[in-house]
Structures are given as C-alpha cells and as structure tokens.
Amino acid sequence: MSDKQYATSFDIIQISLYAVDDDVKPYANLSGDVCKQFQYFEDIMWPSYAATMVIEDSAESLISTMPIQGFEKVVVEVDDLTGTSGDNNGRYTYEFRVWNISNRVELARRQQYTLSLLSAEGLRNEGIIINKKLSGNTSGVVEKILGEYLNVPKDKMDIEASTSSITLLPTKKNPFTVIKSFLPKTISVSYTHLRAHETGRNLVCRRGREKK
C-alpha cells in the first residue's frame, strides 16, 4: 500500500551540496535538520524547474567556510511515496545550481538563509544569446538548440515530431525564449497545444492530446 496521502507528498532522501570546483565529491549533506524547508516548482508553461531551500547552519557555517557564492551544484534525491512510479520505483534525482542567497539571519551561533535553486539548463539559458539564423523542421531546430546551446544530451530530450518548418533570425534572444516562439507555429497531426518545459528527468517539447 502506498504511503502517499496527498498528490504533493514526498520524502527527501538526501540533499548533497558540491563546491563549484568539484562536481564529483559532495562537500556537505544538507539533509535532516540542516534543511528546514524545501519547495519545488515545475510548470508546463515555464521552461525550467526550480526550488527554494531554507538552511539552518549551526555547525560548519557553510556560507562562509565553503563559501557558498553561487553556481554550486545541489543534488536532491526524493521518494514520491508511491513505490511504483517510473523506472526507479518512485525515486528521482533532481540537479540544481545555486543562483541566489537571500534572507540571511544570524541568531545565537546559528545562521539561517534561503538558497534559490535553478536547473543547470535554466541557469545556463540566462547567459546564452542566439544570433544565428535557424531553419528547418521545428522539431529538428528545437533539438539543435537544446544540444548546441544548452548541452542537453539526446536521452534527456522528449520532443514531439512535427510537420512544420520555420526560418527565423533571432535578435538577442535566449534559447528557451526562441523555443517558446515556435509554439503557435508548429503543427502536428494528432496533437494540439504544444508545450515546452523541463522536468527533473527530461526537457519536454510535446503537444497535449486532443480532447475527445
């Protein structure tokens, strides 16, 4: 029997924080009493996934000794409590990068602060501009943008095949903005309402199924 009481219920198995110059060995474990609050955000109308995490640091003072200054990798392992979903029986791993530190408070040998987290592709997207002409089948162009500009491996792409072709010369637009501009111009035989978003498992560019 599932332990899942609500659709939003999940357990955090582990939260690992990595130093900027070492993406292999975790610098610290933020699970347990260190992480006081974790909020995850994912939306089919938003091209990236994100999270916020409230940290209470009373031991190492990570924000100073590490130090935490931005772009550190944070890996969150969760259990959705179904015991059955997906290939991993309900267990998933989400990789983030720290993009902001806020709400810092010091109280009696303790520090509390909020880490704002964004997927690596989402953070990378903000610093990339496409200025080259794009042309061809829409699905092929999306695959090219994700691969060449955001370094997304093919096994992390879920792109619905389309019958549309486009020719576009972007003017100082980032990859996700360009992909979103394709939505009203893309035609597929049996799908409508193209959506492009990123989950913890895949970058998705598909059309929602027609209602019967």
Helix spans in 137-206 (H): 138-150, 175-181
Output the pLDDT for position 207: 52
Whether 50 has a pLDDT exceeding 50, the answer reads: yes
Q: What pLDDT does residue 203 have?
A: 62
DSSP code of 46? S
Cα–Cα dist 150/207, whole Å: 22
Highest average pLDDT, of 116-125, 130-139, 202-211, comes from 130-139
Higher confidence at residue 79 or residue 116? Answer: 116
Of the candidates 157, 130, 155, which has an alpha carbon nearest to the alpha carbon of residue 143? Answer: 157
Q: Rounded CA gap, 121 and 163, in Å?
A: 27
Q: Per the structure block, which two tokens stand in for 10?
A: 């999940």
pLDDT of residue 211: 44
Count of helices and strands (H, E) across the chain: 4, 12
Question: Which pLDDT score, from 0 to 100, does residue 187 have?
Answer: 77
Task: Give me the mean pLDDT over the 17-28 stretch.
Answer: 91
- pLDDT of 73 > 70? The answer is yes
Do 203 and 158 form a contact (C-beta atoms < 8 A)? yes
* Angstrom distances, CA of residue 168 to CA of 7, 134, 136, 179: 41, 5, 9, 11
Which tokens is 79 given? 């259990």
Q: Which two tokens stand for residue 17?
A: 């924080």
